[in-house]
Amino acid sequence: MGGLEKIRLKRELKKTQFVKGIGITPGIIIGKAYLLDRGKIEAPARVLPEFQVPQEVERFLAAVEESKKQLRRAKEKLVHEDAAGPSYIIDTHLLLLEDKKLIDSAVDTIRQSWINSEWALKINLDRLRKIFESIDDEYLRSRKTDVDYVGERILRNLMGKETEGLSQIKEEVILVAHDLSPGDTAQMAKDKVVAFVTDMGGKTSHTAIMARSLEITAVVGTETSSHTINTGDVLIVDGFTGVVVVNPSPEIMQEYKERQLIRQKMERELFQYRDLPAETLDGFRVKVLANIELVDEIPSVLQHGAEGIGLYRTEYLYLNRNDLPTEEDHFQAYKQVVEGIYPHPAVIRTLDIGGDKFMSQIVVAEEMNPALGLRAIRFSLKEVDLFKTQLRAMLRASAYGKVKILLPMISGISEIRQAKRILNEVRLGLTAEGIPFDPQIEVGIMIEVPSAVTIADILAREVDFFSIGTNDLIQYALAIDRGNESVTHLYEPLHPAILRLIRQVVQAAHQAGIRVAMCGEMAGEPLYIPILIGLELDELSMNVLSVFRVKKILRAYTFRECKELVESSGHLSTPDEIEDLVRTSLRQKFPEEFRDIFGIKINNDE
């Protein structure tokens, strides 16, 4: 075969492929792939003679110390590059390297079983992974990747395998990897890595958080990219739709270049929505707020024109630390959020995890199904001192701005009344101590359990507002484990049952004269906005990057049109039929931008 024939054959083999993942940061980037191929490290398993055990413990601890040094260097680089916000993730990994459940347990395994460090580490990593996999909350479950990152780093140091460096990349590339750790992103030459694509990750993974913080266009959760993409392949990364095009044809390349120009124009135009009210053409007003977990996110919330914090997750204060957060820890965090977002409100959710997996100071029984066990408000009502500590800090912070307290996973009236009694005790204590707080502070509940929907009219009499947590509500109502890949396709926000549940909650709230918000992923998905407006939600709280688009869509409709969509959807039987109905409406409103904003169905056979 001649040289020209080989070139022709090589070109034919590089057929265009479409890979679908989850778009994290908006943008369309065209460039060459750089595959970060580390391969899976297999931990060797050896039984040791007893006299070698002390030396093996020293070898393990030395690898842990080297891992700490590497992470500290990575953190220093992030801070030096003025990216201190995401450096908290490296702090998480440093805390894991101090965690007794991991480090001390591995040392005990070496000493008691007389086995090598790698094997002992693997045993304890597998145990920790199972703990995280049993967690219902998507954000907290995704923290399993932290254990994986730390474990791999220790393992590489034990086996003398250097981590492939990213700081040496000399030209602009699109990084492709199975997954990326914060240490990886810290090494990136930001002017060289223009986008990245990973097999792993979701909207709440640390990889996604880093991408948003560093404003790098990214698509995660593709599952197979690192196996199907090679270094040098030409890629188009569409962070809007979550599509990665591998070796695009000239026609597709030209199409995306044109879309890139359109997108740049759209982004400039979207900025004009920052200070505009979120209201329909006929004046129906909705508040658009942001979900956050860190104080560092406040500037971005304000820059995007959100009208406050609709959900401040407080779980991070509890995770991966050797002690429980003090009242002052809570207060300082809440005060910064409240002052930072003033004069807008901040809805602060009380602890939404269980104590059995994260807090070694609290002893509780092991559960068969933690997702339905002692978690959220149930855990807080059992651990009253811990609950009071958090409530005291929230009340103290209310003296510095507008605070609303949100109670998660309420399933019945007794939980609300018990929580309010505890809150009143805390109020009396602060009053006796002369500590100021807002006496009119509002208390609301998360509607995320089907029983709460059924008795929403009763619950509405007890609280100041509702906030619908669609992530859990959909999972519980449809009996879907979102962590189980075999059934995730059944997780359908437009399922007729889900829309009926939302309608029932809104009607109960409005009949009682209280407002109802939505703070799940559904609230920030552009495709669902017309339906949510037609269902008459008062507030939508979302990832801050969705605010501009939600405002744009909302301001293109009349309230009457949205109501008619909801009415029409009531006559349809399947989620697909309802989605087609909404897409047809949106295509009519946004004919030129429809594909970029609302996504397309990708067929790899095309």
Question: What domains can you pick out in the chain, each with its CATH number?
Answer: 12-36+167-269 (3.50.30.10), 50-159 (1.10.274.10), 282-564 (3.20.20.60)
Q: Compute the Cα dihedral for 181, 183, 186, 188 and give only its sign.
A: negative
- Across 119-123, 206-210, 222-226, 556-560, the highest mean pLDDT is recorded for 556-560
Write the single-letter amino acid at 372.
L
The model carries a pTM of 0.71
Phi and psi angles of residue 363, each rounded to the nearest 5 degrees, phi first: -105, 120
Average pLDDT over residues 73-79: 70
Average pLDDT over residues 504-511: 98
pLDDT at 365: 46
- Whether 600 has a pLDDT exceeding 60, the answer reads no
- Whether 81 has a pLDDT exceeding 60, the answer reads no
Confidence of residue 591 (pLDDT cuts 50, 70, 90): confident
Average pLDDT over residues 188-200: 82
Which element (helix H / strand E) includes 407? Answer: strand 402-407
Q: Is the peptide bond before 436 cis (omega within 30 degrees of 0)?
A: no
| Residue showing tokens 């807008």 | 344
Instruction: Note the Cα 2 to chain centre separation in Å.
Output: 52
pLDDT at 354: 58
* Both structure tokens of 74: 């990575």
562 catalytically annotated: no
Contact present, 104 and 47 (Cβ < 8 Å): no
Confidence of residue 604 (pLDDT cuts 50, 70, 90): very low
Confidence of residue 400 (pLDDT cuts 50, 70, 90): very high
Confidence of residue 261 (pLDDT cuts 50, 70, 90): confident
pLDDT at 358: 47
pLDDT at 25: 80
- Whether 512 has a pLDDT exceeding 70, the answer reads yes
Confidence of residue 206 (pLDDT cuts 50, 70, 90): low
pLDDT at 209: 67
Predicted confidence (pLDDT) per residue in 138-178, tens digit: 556 656 677 777 888 888 888 887 665 666 677 899 999 88
206 catalytically annotated: yes
Predicted confidence (pLDDT) per residue in 403-429, tens digit: 999 999 999 999 999 999 999 999 999
Q: Which of 161-170, 253-262, 442-451, 452-461 has the lowest mean pLDDT?
A: 161-170
Confidence of residue 281 (pLDDT cuts 50, 70, 90): very high
Strands (E), 402-509: 402-407, 442-447, 465-468
| Catalytic-role residue among 178, 330, 344, 519 | 519
Q: Is the pLDDT higher at 356 or at 136?
A: 136
- What are the beta bridge partners of residue 449? none
Contact present, 113 and 174 (Cβ < 8 Å): no
- Whether 493 has a pLDDT exceeding 90, the answer reads yes
| Catalytic-role residue among 206, 304, 344, 495 | 206
Q: What percent of the chain has pLDDT over 90?
A: 50
In angstroms and rounded to an integer, the radius of gyration of the C-alpha atoms of the chain is 25
